[in-house]
């Protein structure tokens, strides 16, 4: 089984979303290419995308005030169910359910060190 990856990019969680967006807008000297007020901003570069998002209240305990899991690897896939099956095949079955967000469907997985990987399928 081979997963068809269309994109991989880095995302950062922040409860201070507006401050983070302002900082990266100024640091990178560009406005976000994608922006959903109070939810998400995305900056594009030649070979990298940086997404900054505000975690949902239901994920507050996961992020808390610690540095653990503040950065997530986001993997864009063409078929979310295929990605879930692949995770199971390699011995890392996901423990969460598929959720539907404004930008598509996603599921969370974790690498051996506990870093979160978001598998995302656009609408």
Residues 37-81 pLDDT 10s: 999 999 998 888 888 888 777 766 665 555 455 678 788 899 999
- Asked if 104 and 123 count as a contact pair (C-beta separation under 8 A), the reply is yes
Distance CA 19, CA 3 (A): 36
- SS3 state at 120: strand
- Asked if 94 and 87 count as a contact pair (C-beta separation under 8 A), the reply is yes
Task: Enter the pTM of the model.
Answer: 0.65
Distance CA 13, CA 41 (A): 11
Distance CA 65, CA 60 (A): 9
Note the pLDDT of residue 42.
94
More confident residue, 71 or 120: 120
CATH superfamily of 5-122: 2,3-Dihydroxybiphenyl 1,2-Dioxygenase, domain 1 (3.10.180.10)
Residue/partner pairs of 59-67 with CB below 8 Å, 24 or more apart:
59/13, 60/15, 63/13, 63/15
């Amino acid at each position: 089984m081979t997963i068809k990856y269309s994109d991989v990019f880095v995302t950062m969680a922040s409860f201070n979303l507006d401050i983070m967006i302002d900082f990266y807008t100024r640091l990178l000297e560009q406005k976000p290419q994608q922006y959903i007020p109070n939810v998400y901003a995305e900056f594009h570069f030649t070979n990298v995308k940086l997404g900054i998002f505000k975690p949902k209240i239901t994920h507050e305990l996961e992020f808390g005030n610690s540095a653990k899991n503040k950065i997530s690897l986001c993997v864009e896939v063409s078929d979310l169910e295929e990605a879930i099956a692949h995770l199971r095949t390699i011995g890392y079955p996901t423990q969460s359910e598929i959720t539907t967000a404004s930008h598509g469907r996603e599921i969370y997985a974790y690498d051996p060190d506990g870093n979160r990987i978001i598998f995302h399928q656009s609408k």
